[in-house]
Structure 1
Amino acid sequence: MNDEIAAPATDRIAIPPETLKMTARDVDVFYGAKQAIEKVSIDIGMDHVTAFIGPSGCGKSTFLRTLNRMNDTIPIARVTGQIELDGENIYDASMDVVQLRARVGMVFQKPNPFPKSIFENVAYGPRIHGLSTSKAELEEIVEKSLVRAGLWDEVKDRLTESGTALSGGQQQRLCIARAIAVDPEVILMDEPCSALDPIATAKIEELIHELRGRYAIVIVTHNMQQAARVSQRTAFFHLGTLVEYGETSDLFTNPQKERTKDYITGRYG
């Protein structure tokens, strides 16, 4: 691959050790014989939102899925390198993947509420993970999660209705409430607004701002304006490699790599 692409991309970011949440070092991802990710290294902290940007097929969503082992669900996928959560290797054989995905939640591109009531969508995770000891405690978790997801006032009188009856934007916020309900440490968002209208998108972006600092948040987006609005750090991916990682304002106004500059100025994408 191009030397510029393969060069380390982490030197512009210094994350204080006390806020460091996840680290990836020399991560490769293969689908059968095809290599989708090559030698990606990045640090993710608690105190900011990190955006992954890049053209379609550049590997940003594939890499996002390595952070909670979602690639495990693909039989031909293979991941090498080191990814740590609070210093613990998440690919170690002793890692409980179910617990990992509770700690590192995922919100997908298309809203995917369960075919259950609004209440049961949010209560599902806390119930199976044993996070509540009584009905009252479970109700408190559901309400708090819906409040944090900015949805409580809209659904508090219809908790028994199906989650699939909500609008697309409401469904996505319900999925965020479902992720929050198990008290995660990291929330991964894979293009969470791509299926939503501008009003619903604005609500999700406002929600991301409100959740910042409570969770480490990583968002994949095709929309560079969205990355600029919601994130404090941005990583640019191209051809399966991490080209550049920096403060969002710096990366958009003063990119260090020519490929980053070409992408941001619209020369390809």
Structure 2
Amino acid sequence: MKEAIMSSTTATPKISTRSVNVFYGENQAIKDVSIDVEMDNVTAFIGPSGCGKSTFLRSLNRMNDTIVGARVEGKIELDGKNIYDPSMDVVQLRARVGMVFQKPNPFPKSIYDNVAYGPRIHGLCANKAELDMIVENSLQKAGLWDEVKDRLTNSGTALSGGQQQRLCIARAIAVDPEVILMDEPCSALDPIATAKIEELIHDLRGKYAIIIVTHNMQQAARVSQRTAFFHLGTLVEFGETSEIFTNPREEKTKDYITGRYG
């Protein structure tokens, strides 16, 4: 059963997890989760509120390290390297595995400085011209350049909600990550802004390994190629999105997809 859950493809995984357990103090939030995430697919994590999908997502770039009492057991590898190995540089890990949060959180800085922040602190540019190029390219990739190119000195917090979220995606892209984690990135957005984020995810597919947590099953069906269904901290089923939504193997998955609970 566990092998069927992990992956049914032959591609070398970008992220591989085996028997992952996550605890908050005495409370176990994630139970024995094994999954492979590939570079060329968007992977969606779905499940009812409190099922552990966001907790598991945060374990993939060690964001749970910031929570007192949090503990992760098992193995999580990025390109075959255990990210919880003591030799792992967590700052560099989070540059390689970027995060976009549920609520847009631009810095109280200019649009330009929001995107330039990461490249500056990681020393990714030798001069202002290189930094300008990184900022422009990142905003282009995030689908925001044409909307903000004439007001880069304006505050990022003055943008609309959807623009702020795309600015946060540009900020994540600017440090040249390999993986982008998105924790319900559209839940605070209106339908038009949501459509733009979904279009952006399609555009970014293949350039980065993308994992999106979403409470919206229709969104998972639209943007992802593989879907993992979580319930009560366990990974119930993982496979091709089309199969999960049309021909799930597990009864729990079928009940959730058909709206019997959630």
Q: Determine if the TM-score, normalized by the shorter chain, exceeds 0.5.
A: yes
- The yes-or-no answer on 1:149 pairing with 2:142 is yes
AA aligned to 2:162 is: G
| Counterpart for residue 47 of structure 1 | 40
Shift, 1:207, TM fit:
0.1
Q: Which residue of 1 aligns with 2:58?
A: 65
RMSD of the alignment, in Å?
1.0
Distance in 2 between residues matched to 1:7 and 1:156, nearest whole Å: 49
Aligned residue for 1:259?
252
Q: In 2 relative to 1, CA 149–57 (structure 1 residues): closer, same or farther, beyond 3 Å?
A: same
CA distance in 2, matches of 1:27, 1:15: 21
Q: Which one-letter code corresponds to 2:83 in the other structure?
A: I
Whether the 8 Å CA contact 1:28–1:37 is kept in 2: the answer is: yes
Cα distance in 2, alignment partners of residues 198 and 226 from structure 1: 11
The answer to whether the 8 Å contact 1:67/1:83 transfers is: yes
In structure 2, what is the Cα distance between the partners aligned to 1:167 and 1:212?
25
How far apart in 2 are the matches of 1:214 and 1:202?
A: 20
Tell whether 2:11 aligns with 1:16.
yes
> Runs of 4 or more off by more than 4 Å in structure 1?
6-9
* Secondary structure in structure 2 of the residue aligned to 1:142: helix
Per the TM alignment, residue 15 of structure 1 is displaced from its structure 2 partner at its CA by 3.7
Aligned to 1:124: 117
2:203 is paired with a residue whose SS is helix
Distance in 2, matches of 1:15 and 1:137, equals: 38
Q: CA deviation at 1:13?
A: 2.0
Contact 2:7–2:35 (CA under 8 A) maintained in structure 1: no
Structure 1, unaligned stretches of length 5 or more?
A: 1-5
The letter for the 1-side match of 2:117 is: Y
Counterpart CA distance in 2 for 1:47 and 1:10 is: 19
Question: Conserved in 2, the CA contact under 8 Å of 1:48 and 1:213?
Answer: yes
Aligned to 1:170: 163
Does the Cα contact within 8 Å between 1:126 and 1:138 map onto a contact in 2?
A: yes
Offset, 1:176? 0.1
2:164 is the counterpart of 1:183: no
Aligned equivalents of 2:4 and 2:203: distance in 1?
A: 28
Q: Percent identity?
A: 81
**Cα deviation per residue 1:120-171 (whole Å; 9 max; x = unaligned)?**
0000000000000000000000000000000000000000000000000000
Counterpart position of 1:96 = 89
Counterpart of 1:14, as a letter, is T
Q: Aligned partners of 1:26, 1:133: CA distance in 2, in Å?
A: 42
Match of 1:28 in 2: 21
CA positional deviation for 1:64: 0.1
- After superposition, give the CA deviation of every residue in 1:151-210 in whole Å (9 maximum; x if it has no partner): 000000000000000000000000000000000000000000000000000000000000
Residues of 2 paired with 1:74 and 1:145: CA distance?
A: 30
Distance 2:169 2:257 in 1: 29
Q: Is the 8 A contact 1:9 1:243 kept in 2?
A: no
Taking the aligned partners of 1:133 and 1:99, their CA distance within structure 2 comes to 19
Looking at structure 2, the residues matched to 207 and 11 of structure 1 have their Cα atoms a distance apart, in angstroms, of 27
Tell me the equivalent position of 2:127.
134
Give the SS at the match of 1:199: helix
Give the number of equivalent residue pairs: 262
Structure 2: gaps (5+ residues): none
Q: Is the 8 A contact 1:9 1:41 kept in 2?
A: no
Query: Match for 2:217: what amino acid?
Result: M
